[in-house]
Amino acid sequence: MNSPLLPIAHAVSRWRDDPCSRGGWSLLRPGGTPATRAALGQPFGRVIIAGEATSPEQAGMAHSAFDEGRRAARWCIAQGLQDVAVLGAGAAGIGAARSLKDAGVRVLLLEARGRIGGRAWSVELPSGGASRVVMELGANWLQQGARNTLAPVAEAIGCRLVPTDFHRPLELGQPAGVGPETTGAVMAQLHARVDQATASGDRPLAEVVDAFLAHPHPFDRETVQRVVDSEVLLDTGAPLGELSARLGFEAGVGAGDRWIASGYRSVLGALAEGLDLRLDCSVSRIRWSDDGVQLDHADGTLEADAVIVTVPAAVLQEDRPQFEPPLPAPQRAALSLLTAGRVEKAALVFSERWWPRSADGYIRIADGAGRISEWLDLSDALGVPAITAIFVGDWARELWDGHDDASVAARVAAVLQGASDSQSVRAPTQS
């Protein structure tokens, strides 16, 4: 008989290796600002780039990508364009194509992968007998409460939305020993140090953090390191040397976040209904001018009045697709100021729940080195022993690289088992 400690079903992301994503979400390098993102999203000729990376104020989220896609569509509509191609069927591309179609514009949505959703990727796993459970390998939560424009869509189609309180994790594994008050105090001091260190210009966040670790008073070094790991690294997955000290960690989660029981796919699928969609159609070259565009793909060339490009910034940085003539200088400069972190997820289904219960399913696990992973236990909400794990940075690299999916799933399950067995389970802090 199989051990209940091993998953009966699993799915594992490969965002870093995937040529259609090349990492998690966009982050600002030293010198990057909201204007960087706005510059990337400025139209040139009959081309406009849109996606989470072009959102000046709320980058890195599915609803911001959706909003940016709709912004690009408004530009096409204002130009009176009749025939528009959209590259990429993630939240931005679907938002763009939906708006254009609803406005009576002819629109063709071209997607390189064999599925829609992009970095919102809901998978369906067997959960015993004939039943199945939907879990997320990419975007999980509808974030930012009332500011989230996908939430009303989810509500309108009757999705069940489950709240998560990120401020009340069940902490497993090595005791972090850092409560919310100390975390707040360390972050306040980090921000003050950033302000001081960048008064005459931005610099890598690593420089400010290293100086803080060298002189951590009134905290100790370990406390500062743990807070940085949980508040910055977990939200970015990127080496601190690559991040802007001023803006490398932007506000995201925190208030009114909810996840979709039927998955992001139910929301994006509803929005994509009736669109002219071509899957498995990777565009390799965009020839553009002030009069129109030609798009090369494996089966030939397409012409359109304009193109909305929603390919992730990390993919554009690899010159995919190629632009002819090359991207204008402002867009190239903007791309050079962006990076993306290493963020991976594993979705695991078990025959029974053997790990501790968290009030609303949110768990954080720290290892001996103080590295932190995030978990969402779906068991109570869905009635199936299922849990999703998020690993970032070095820990993701260690668990993932060189291992096949089944082995990654087993290694991730072992992290949960080790943490569940340890004596250091801390109850969530009462608010």
Ligand X SMILES: Cc1cc2nc3c(=O)[nH]c(=O)nc-3n(C[C@H](O)[C@H](O)[C@H](O)COP(=O)(O)OP(=O)(O)OC[C@H]3O[C@@H](n4cnc5c(N)ncnc54)[C@H](O)[C@@H]3O)c2cc1C
Q: Are 111 and 93 in contact (CB under 8 A)?
A: yes
Burial label for 396, CB within 10 Å (0-12, 13-18, 19+), is buried
**Which tokens hold the place of 131?**
């039943």
- What's the closest the beta carbon of residue 365 comes to ligand X, in angstroms? 17
- What's the closest the beta carbon of residue 343 comes to ligand X, in angstroms? 4
Q: Are 374 and 234 in contact (CB under 8 A)?
A: yes
- What's the closest the beta carbon of residue 73 comes to ligand X, in angstroms? 13
DSSP secondary structure letter of residue 167: T
- What's the closest the beta carbon of residue 137 comes to ligand X, in angstroms? 7
Nearer to ligand X, 135 or 190 (CB): 135
Nearer to ligand X, 84 or 92 (CB): 92
Nearest Cα to 423, choosing from 178, 174, 179, 169? 174
- What's the closest the beta carbon of residue 414 comes to ligand X, in angstroms? 21
- What's the closest the beta carbon of residue 142 comes to ligand X, in angstroms? 7
H or E stretch at 69: helix 62-78
Nearest Cα to 84, choosing from 112, 103, 62? 103
Which residues, 6 or more positions from 252, have their beta carbon under 8 angstroms from its beta carbon? 58, 60, 61, 143, 144, 235
Nearest Cα to 139, choosing from 93, 90, 95, 86? 90
- What's the closest the beta carbon of residue 358 comes to ligand X, in angstroms? 17
Identity of the residue numbered 318 = E
Nearer to ligand X, 127 or 143 (CB): 143
- What's the closest the beta carbon of residue 384 comes to ligand X, in angstroms? 20
Identity of the residue numbered 366 = A
Rounded Cα gap, residues 24 and 339, in angstroms: 9
Residue 33 to residues 38, 243, 329, 356: CA-CA distances in angstroms?
A: 9, 11, 17, 42
Rounded Cα gap, residues 374 and 351, in angstroms: 22
Nearer to ligand X, 32 or 312 (CB): 312
Nearer to ligand X, 240 or 346 (CB): 346
- What's the closest the beta carbon of residue 138 comes to ligand X, in angstroms? 4
H or E stretch at 389: strand 386-392
Rounded Cα gap, residues 363 and 148, in angstroms: 24
Nearer to ligand X, 29 or 119 (CB): 119
For the chain, state the CA radius of gyration: 22
Nearest Cα to 145, choosing from 167, 161, 124? 161
Q: Are 56 and 37 in contact (CB under 8 A)?
A: yes
- What's the closest the beta carbon of residue 18 comes to ligand X, in angstroms? 8
| Residue-by-residue DSSP string for 317-354 | TTT-SEEESPPPHHHHHHHHTEEE--EEEEEEE-SS--
Nearer to ligand X, 294 or 351 (CB): 294
- Interface with ligand X (CB under 6 A): 15, 20-21, 24-25, 51-52, 60-63, 65, 87-93, 110-113, 118-120, 138-141, 143, 282-283, 310-312, 315, 320-321, 343, 345
Q: Are 212 and 190 in contact (CB under 8 A)?
A: yes
Nearer to ligand X, 30 or 263 (CB): 263
**Which tokens hold the place of 24?**
């998690």
Nearer to ligand X, 66 or 219 (CB): 66
Nearer to ligand X, 143 or 266 (CB): 143
H or E stretch at 372: strand 372-377
- What's the closest the beta carbon of residue 232 comes to ligand X, in angstroms? 16
Nearer to ligand X, 194 or 286 (CB): 286
